[in-house]
């Protein structure tokens, strides 16, 4: 029979080799179901928009690649991510401004909230960004933005930067000429999901989604990108969703309407332009007080690719 002193001496040898005994772990490595780490959280557009407008007079694109405000989850120790694998940000561009081209390995998308006559260029294709549209920037694509109309343009970015941080293949490059030389205009393009098309598809979609968290739902792309899925949801006033949870992390953007989402211990009242986070495996439920459209961005393709996607109605 070993003595306590002999065991402590053994453990000291193991720790000295930067190892750990599977029978004597400092913290468990496996647990019965996903832990609630990141917090559900809401960011209000009405709080953020005045700050971006003020920043428009103080921060130009020579001071930063983009004028944006990152939504950092308030979980202790987090410095950047909105949920574990995704980050969201509010961004603006002013009339006459151009954001120079760059590219990076993280995939990105933009959900347009307000403003007319702003454009994005992605790998030489120039498309207009209209309210309600969702624009894609696939991994390692050159992209730039410009505003040529009279309006400030505001949108929500969602990127898989936290996932790339975890996996570590981060590469970033500024365009050597600042902008792409060969650009062609396009009314329609694979990178642009138009709001008018989304509304038409929602009108034609009679069946409610199986998860019961919306009355109607469509997917943009199949999926939109290898690491990111985008779903547009429709819910009418008085709708109360099923209580649902998923191993996929999700970020919601409110395009119109009003309602309340209860996720974990949080109750989040949302309206136009708001963004809220529903981290993995946190039970949530929507209650809608005014006809609403939401864009749900998630890491479902990642979970599905590794056979880790689990969903449950409670």
Same domain, 47 and 187: yes
Same domain, 7 and 45: no
Which residues form the domain of 17? 1-30
Q: Is the pLDDT reported for residue 215 higher than 90?
A: yes
In a domain, 35, yes or no: no
Domains identified in the chain, total number: 3
In a domain, 68, yes or no: yes
Question: Domain boundary residue among 176, 193, 210?
Answer: 193
| CATH code of the domain in which 214 resides | 2.60.120.10
- What's the predicted TM-score (pTM) here? 0.95
Same domain, 58 and 166: yes
Q: What pLDDT was estimated at residue 62?
A: 62
Question: Domain boundary residue among 154, 176, 193?
Answer: 193
Query: Which two structure tokens, joined as six digits, stand for 62?
Result: 């020579």
Q: Are 292 and 254 contacting, i.e. CB atoms less than 8 angstroms apart?
A: yes
Q: What pLDDT was estimated at residue 1?
A: 60
Q: Is the pLDDT reported for residue 244 higher than 90?
A: yes
In which residue are the tokens 């598809």 written?
Answer: 201
Residues 6+ apart with CB under 8 A from 24: 11
What sign results for the dihedral spanned by CA atoms 260, 262, 263, 268? positive
Q: What pLDDT was estimated at residue 32?
A: 95
In a domain, 36, yes or no: no
Same domain, 172 and 239: no
C-alpha dist (Å) from residue 171 to 81, 107, 157: 18, 12, 19
């Amino acid at each position: 029979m070993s003595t306590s002193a002999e065991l402590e001496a053994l453990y000291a040898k193991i720790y000295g080799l930067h190892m750990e005994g599977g029978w004597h772990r400092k913290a468990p490595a496996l647990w019965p179901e996903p832990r609630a780490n990141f917090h559900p959280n809401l960011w209000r557009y009405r709080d953020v928009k005045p700050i971006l407008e003020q920043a428009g007079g103080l921060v130009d694109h020579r001071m930063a690649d983009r004028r944006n405000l990152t939504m950092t989850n308030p979980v202790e120790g987090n410095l950047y991510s909105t949920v574990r694998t995704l980050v969201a940000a509010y961004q603006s561009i002013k009339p006459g401004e151009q954001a120079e081209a760059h590219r990076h390995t993280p995939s990105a998308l933009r959900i347009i909230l307000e403003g007319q006559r702003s454009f994005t260029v992605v790998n030489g294709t120039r498309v207009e960004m209209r309210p309600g549209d969702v624009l894609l920037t696939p991994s390692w694509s050159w992209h730039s933005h410009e505003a040529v109309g009279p309006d400030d343009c505001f949108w929500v970015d969602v990127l898989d930067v936290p996932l790339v941080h975890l996996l570590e293949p981060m590469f970033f490059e500024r365009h050597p000429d600042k902008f792409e030389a060969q650009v062609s205009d396009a009314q329609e393009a694979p990178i642009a999901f138009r709001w008018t098309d989304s509304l038409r598809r929602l009108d034609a979609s009679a069946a409610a989604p199986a998860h019961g968290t919306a009355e109607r739902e469509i997917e943009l792309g199949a999926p939109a990108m290898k690491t990111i899925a985008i779903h547009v949801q429709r819910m009418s006033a008085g709708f109360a969703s099923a209580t649902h949870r998923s191993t996929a992390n999700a970020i919601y953007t409110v395009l119109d309407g009003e309602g309340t989402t209860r996720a974990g211990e949080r109750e989040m009242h949302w309206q136009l332009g708001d963004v809220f986070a529903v981290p993995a495996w946190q039970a949530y439920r929507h209650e809608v007080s005014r006809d609403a459209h939401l864009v749900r961005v998630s890491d479902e393709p990642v979970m599905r690719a590794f056979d880790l996607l689990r969903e449950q109605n409670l």
